[in-house]
Each structure stands twice: as C-alpha cells, then as structure tokens.
Chain A
Amino acid sequence: MADVPSIIHWMQNSDIGTGIRESIWVFPIVETTHVLALALSVGVLIWFDLRLMGWGMKHQPVSQVHKQIMPLAFVGFVVMFVSGILLFWSEAEKCYLSGFFRAKMLFLVLAGLNAGIFELRTKKTIEDWDKYPVPPAQARMAGLISILSWAAVIIAGRATAYNLF
C-alpha cells in the first residue's frame, strides 16, 4: 500500500499537477479564482457571524440573515474548495511539507466542526432567540470561533505561499 509521501509525490508529478504548475495562465487563474471565492465566501459569512455575536445586522432576525447569507457562502466555499484542490495538486509536496499548510488544514477542520455543531445543535433553539439583538452565549461563541478560525485559515494560507517555514 502506498504511503502518504508517495501519493503526494505522485500527485505533484502527475499530468494535472505538472500542467497546472508549469502553465503560464492556468496557475494564476486558478489562484485568482481561489482568492475571489474566498473573499465571497468568508466575506459574506462574516456578516452572519457578526449577527450571531450581536455586533451587526441587529435589526434582522438571525434566521433571516442565515437564510440569505448561507447559500452565497456555500457557493463561494465550493468554488474555493475545488480551486484549492487544484492548487494543492500542483504543489502537493511543498504544501505537505509546509507547517503553515498543516495549520491551515487544522483550522479548516475547526471551522467545519464549529459550523456542524451550530447547524445540528445550536440552531435547534433558534426560535427562542431569533429576534434578540444579542443571541445566547452558545450562538455568540459559534460566531466568534467561526471568524477566528477563518481568519487563521486565511493567514496560514497566505503564509503557505510565502514559504517561510
């Protein structure tokens, strides 16, 4: 059975990986798409998180903000995820060895878990606090963790490209 480093090595040197990496246009286009999708996805998600924390959009019920923001954030996330996989494919070995990239993946998982817990558990009682300007502690915490973990994903992601460690 192949171990992780050999899979990574194979990815980087596959036709797709090499093709993206060595193309004049494909890499910049995929990278730009990744950054734009990030700004779309996280940029709008922040407003839901701020609403959860009671810091913004206080005039709107939480469920309304959720319903309006989430489809957009989700579309952005899918584009970001797909373009991210392509970027990883082309620089698999660099990413695999990068401490920042590993940190980024951890924060990504944290953001995912946080969102999962909110959607499956915290949101159940939303009817009780939907219209409060400031939601209960559990919901505020979900908003805070989301903002912090996404900021960490962005910081670690940018640092991966600088190749500092």
Chain B
Amino acid sequence: MGETIRGSRIYFPIIETFHLLALTVLFGAVLVLNMRLCGLMMKNQPTQQVAKDLSPWAWWSLVVILGSGILLFLSEAMKCYASKPFQIKMMFLFAAIIYHFTIHRGVSRSSREPHRAMGVIIGVVNVVLWLGVGLGGRGIGFL
C-alpha cells in the first residue's frame, strides 16, 4: 500500500489535499470553541452549547485527518520516522488528543461556565498544541 501511494503520481497529492481540507475544518472548529472559552466570541451562548454544535464536525474532520495521515505516513514511513519535525508533530498530536478528551472536554462540556482566567488558559493551551501539530507537519515537507 505504501509503495502504491509513493509510486503513483497523483495518489499522494490527492490524499494530502484531503488531509489539508479536513485540517482546515478542524482548526476552524478548535479556534471557534476556544475563542468562546476565552470569552472572545458567542458570549450570549453557553460554552457547552457551542461545544455540542461543533463536536460532530470536529469529530469527522479528525477521522479524515487521521485516516489520510496514516496513508501519507505509510508511503513515507522511513522518511517520517527519521524526521525531527515529524517526531515533534507526533508528540504534539498525542498531547493535543489526550488533552482534548480529558481536561479540555471536562471544562467545555461542563454545565457551569468556567472562570474567565481558567477558560483562557485551557483554551490557549489547546490552540498552542494544535498549532504545534500543524507547524511540525509543515516542517516535514521543508526539512
């Protein structure tokens, strides 16, 4: 499978394009939710409600990102394994996913609004983790 993708002239670009489109959707969802957590957006709606509205889109985009990401990895496994940006990206990715489904989810799905400062910290950490994933990913192609 890895060889098929690498050997084809168009599979890799097509898969990577899906990766990029889904990433845009996820990043947008992460930004909107965390701006709500920071109290910068949609203040007249509870954070819990915003989180529920965004959740299905965030989920599906994450599924597409991981699926296409695994295919891309298979085709360039050796290059990725040795790549520093890729290692950094994976660290950020695991941290982001674990953080998202534990601490972040606990706060954004709570029926009580978090304290403003708490919301800001929780939200900024989440955005920084996902930015780390994105920057690491872009770095693989360059370095």
Contact = CB atoms under 8 A, between A and B. Distances in A.
Interface of A: 28, 31-32, 35-36, 38-40, 42-47, 50, 56-60, 64-65, 68-69, 72, 151, 154-155, 158-159, 162, 164
Contact of A43 (B16, B24, B49, B131): B24
A59 B41 contact: no
A155 B23 CA distance: 13
9 contacts: A35-B20, A39-B134, A40-B28, A40-B31, A44-B28, A44-B32, A50-B57, A72-B31, A155-B17
Interface of B: 9-10, 13, 16-17, 20-21, 23-29, 31-32, 35, 41-42, 44-45, 49, 53-54, 57, 131, 134-135, 138, 142
Contacts of A154: 17, 20-21, 24
Contacts of A59: 45, 49, 53
**When A and B form their complex, which 3 residue pairs have the shortest distance between CB atoms, in order from nearest?**
A43-B28, A39-B27, A43-B27
A35 B142 CA distance: 14
Chain B, interface SS category: helix
B53 A56 contact: yes
B57 A56 contact: yes
A32 B132 CA distance: 12
Contacts of B44: 64
Chain A, interface SS category: helix
A32 B131 CA distance: 11
Contacts of A40: 27-28, 31
Residue of B35, B42, B131 with most chain A CB atoms under a 10 A cut-off: B42
B57 A43 contact: no
Nearest to B36: A68
Nearest to A50: B57
Given A56-B57, A64-B44, A68-B42, A159 B17 contact: yes
Contacts of A64: 42, 44
Contacts of B42: 60, 64-65, 68
Nearest to A156: B17
Given A35-B138, A43-B25, A59-B49, 12 more contacts: A31-B142, A35-B20, A39-B23, A40-B27, A43-B28, A44-B32, A46-B25, A47-B32, A56-B54, A64-B44, A155-B21, A158-B13
